[in-house]
Protein backbone atom coordinates (compact mmCIF):
# COMPACT_ATOMS: atom_id res chain seq x y z
CA UNK A 1 0.00 0.00 0.00
CA UNK A 2 2.03 2.95 -1.28
CA UNK A 3 -0.08 5.52 0.61
CA UNK A 4 0.80 3.92 3.94
CA UNK A 5 4.51 3.77 3.09
CA UNK A 6 4.41 7.43 1.98
CA UNK A 7 2.65 8.45 5.18
CA UNK A 8 5.25 6.65 7.29
CA UNK A 9 8.08 8.16 5.26
CA UNK A 10 6.70 11.68 5.75
CA UNK A 11 6.50 11.01 9.49
CA UNK A 12 10.08 9.67 9.63
CA UNK A 13 11.42 12.62 7.61
CA UNK A 14 9.67 15.05 9.93
CA UNK A 15 11.02 13.38 13.08
CA UNK A 16 14.60 13.16 11.73
CA UNK A 17 14.50 16.64 10.14
CA UNK A 18 15.33 15.13 6.75
CA UNK A 19 15.31 17.24 3.60
CA UNK A 20 11.75 17.48 2.26
CA UNK A 21 12.78 16.02 -1.10
CA UNK A 22 14.59 12.98 0.34
CA UNK A 23 13.20 10.00 -1.60
CA UNK A 24 11.97 6.78 -0.04
CA UNK A 25 14.76 4.20 -0.15
CA UNK A 26 14.41 1.52 -2.83
CA UNK A 27 12.29 -1.37 -1.55
CA UNK A 28 12.77 -4.65 -3.42
CA UNK A 29 11.37 -8.16 -3.08
CA UNK A 30 14.34 -10.51 -2.99
CA UNK A 31 13.95 -14.29 -3.11
CA UNK A 32 17.64 -14.78 -2.33
CA UNK A 33 17.24 -13.73 1.32
CA UNK A 34 17.59 -16.61 3.80
CA UNK A 35 14.31 -17.99 5.15
CA UNK A 36 14.96 -16.59 8.62
CA UNK A 37 15.40 -13.01 7.32
CA UNK A 38 12.08 -11.24 6.78
CA UNK A 39 13.61 -8.02 5.53
CA UNK A 40 16.78 -5.98 5.84
CA UNK A 41 18.26 -2.57 5.14
CA UNK A 42 21.55 -2.57 3.24
CA UNK A 43 23.90 0.24 2.35
CA UNK A 44 27.41 0.68 0.95
CA UNK A 45 30.00 0.83 3.73
CA UNK A 46 33.76 1.16 3.75
CA UNK A 47 34.02 -2.65 3.90
CA UNK A 48 31.34 -3.28 1.25
CA UNK A 49 31.18 -0.21 -1.04
CA UNK A 50 29.57 -2.30 -3.81
CA UNK A 51 26.42 -2.93 -1.73
CA UNK A 52 23.30 -1.17 -3.00
CA UNK A 53 21.35 1.14 -0.71
CA UNK A 54 17.97 -0.60 -0.35
CA UNK A 55 15.45 -2.41 1.78
CA UNK A 56 15.06 -6.07 0.82
CA UNK A 57 11.84 -8.02 1.54
CA UNK A 58 11.70 -11.81 1.66
CA UNK A 59 8.65 -13.02 -0.34
CA UNK A 60 8.60 -16.39 1.48
CA UNK A 61 7.86 -14.62 4.73
CA UNK A 62 5.33 -12.08 3.49
CA UNK A 63 2.51 -14.21 4.90
CA UNK A 64 4.09 -14.44 8.37
CA UNK A 65 2.80 -10.98 9.33
CA UNK A 66 -0.27 -9.04 8.31
CA UNK A 67 -0.19 -5.67 6.53
CA UNK A 68 0.18 -3.62 9.71
CA UNK A 69 3.20 -5.57 10.91
CA UNK A 70 4.83 -5.54 7.49
CA UNK A 71 4.34 -1.81 7.20
CA UNK A 72 5.82 -1.34 10.67
CA UNK A 73 8.86 -3.47 9.72
CA UNK A 74 9.37 -1.46 6.52
CA UNK A 75 9.06 1.73 8.60
CA UNK A 76 11.67 0.38 11.02
CA UNK A 77 14.07 -0.16 8.09
CA UNK A 78 13.26 3.27 6.61
CA UNK A 79 14.15 4.75 10.01
CA UNK A 80 17.57 3.05 9.76
CA UNK A 81 17.93 4.68 6.33
CA UNK A 82 17.05 8.15 7.65
CA UNK A 83 19.39 7.83 10.63
CA UNK A 84 22.26 6.68 8.40
CA UNK A 85 21.79 9.55 5.97
CA UNK A 86 21.47 12.08 8.80
CA UNK A 87 24.68 10.76 10.37
CA UNK A 88 26.35 11.36 7.00
CA UNK A 89 25.04 14.91 6.56
CA UNK A 90 22.18 13.89 4.22
CA UNK A 91 24.73 13.68 1.39
CA UNK A 92 24.83 10.96 -1.23
CA UNK A 93 28.12 9.09 -0.93
CA UNK A 94 29.87 6.10 -2.45
CA UNK A 95 29.87 4.55 1.04
CA UNK A 96 28.42 5.54 4.40
CA UNK A 97 29.89 5.65 7.88
CA UNK A 98 27.61 4.24 10.60
CA UNK A 99 28.82 4.83 14.15
CA UNK A 100 25.44 5.19 15.86
CA UNK A 101 23.86 1.97 17.16
CA UNK A 102 20.25 2.56 16.16
CA UNK A 103 18.32 -0.24 17.87
CA UNK A 104 18.98 0.97 21.42
CA UNK A 105 19.03 4.67 20.59
CA UNK A 106 16.20 6.44 22.44
CA UNK A 107 15.20 8.57 19.44
CA UNK A 108 15.19 5.57 17.10
CA UNK A 109 13.09 3.53 19.51
CA UNK A 110 10.66 6.44 19.98
CA UNK A 111 10.20 6.90 16.23
CA UNK A 112 9.61 3.18 15.61
CA UNK A 113 7.18 3.02 18.53
CA UNK A 114 5.36 6.08 17.19
CA UNK A 115 5.08 4.29 13.85
CA UNK A 116 3.03 1.70 15.74
CA UNK A 117 0.62 4.46 16.76
CA UNK A 118 0.43 5.80 13.21
CA UNK A 119 -0.36 2.30 11.90
CA UNK A 120 -2.90 1.71 14.66
CA UNK A 121 -4.81 4.72 13.28
CA UNK A 122 -4.95 2.93 9.91
CA UNK A 123 -5.48 -0.72 10.89
CA UNK A 124 -6.99 -0.30 14.39
CA UNK A 125 -5.43 -3.51 15.68
CA UNK A 126 -4.38 -3.27 19.32
CA UNK A 127 -2.82 -6.73 19.05
CA UNK A 128 -0.61 -5.60 16.17
CA UNK A 129 0.29 -2.39 17.99
CA UNK A 130 1.45 -4.41 20.99
CA UNK A 131 3.45 -6.71 18.69
CA UNK A 132 5.11 -3.65 17.10
CA UNK A 133 6.17 -2.34 20.51
CA UNK A 134 7.51 -5.79 21.40
CA UNK A 135 9.49 -5.94 18.14
CA UNK A 136 10.95 -2.46 18.77
CA UNK A 137 12.17 -3.51 22.22
CA UNK A 138 13.31 -6.93 21.01
CA UNK A 139 15.50 -5.23 18.38
CA UNK A 140 17.42 -3.49 21.16
CA UNK A 141 17.76 -6.62 23.30
CA UNK A 142 18.74 -9.00 20.50
CA UNK A 143 20.65 -6.70 18.13
CA UNK A 144 22.03 -3.82 20.24
CA UNK A 145 24.95 -3.22 17.86
CA UNK A 146 22.76 -2.43 14.87
Q: Cα(76)–Cα(133) distance, rounded to whole angstroms?
A: 11
Closest to 85 (Cα-Cα) out of 4, 13, 27: 13
Distances in whole angstroms, Cα of residue 38 to Cα of each of 28, 60, 124: 12, 8, 23
Supply the pTM of this predicted model: 0.90
Mean pLDDT of all residues in 102-106: 88
More confident residue, 71 or 129: 71
Residue 125 has a pLDDT of 72
Mean pLDDT of all residues in 113-118: 92
Mean pLDDT of all residues in 36-65: 89
Q: Cα(77)–Cα(52) distance, rounded to whole angstroms?
A: 14
Contact 8, 78 (CB under 8 A): yes
pLDDT tens digits along 8-19: 999 999 999 999
Closest to 80 (Cα-Cα) out of 4, 121, 139, 142: 139
Mean pLDDT of all residues in 11-40: 93
Counts for the chain of helices (H) and strands (E), in that order: 4, 3
**What are the boundaries of each domain within the chain?**
2-21+65-142
- pLDDT > 70 in the chain, percent: 97
Q: What is the dihedral of CA 111, 116, 121, 124, to 10 degrees?
A: 180
Residue 135 has a pLDDT of 78
Q: DSSP secondary-structure letter at 144? A: T
Identify the helix (H) or strand (E) that includes residue 57: strand 54-57
Amino acid sequence: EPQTVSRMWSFIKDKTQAPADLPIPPIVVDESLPKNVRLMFEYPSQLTPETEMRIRLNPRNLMAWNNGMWHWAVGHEMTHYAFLLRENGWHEKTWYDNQLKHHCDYEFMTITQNLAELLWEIYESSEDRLHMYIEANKSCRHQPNQ
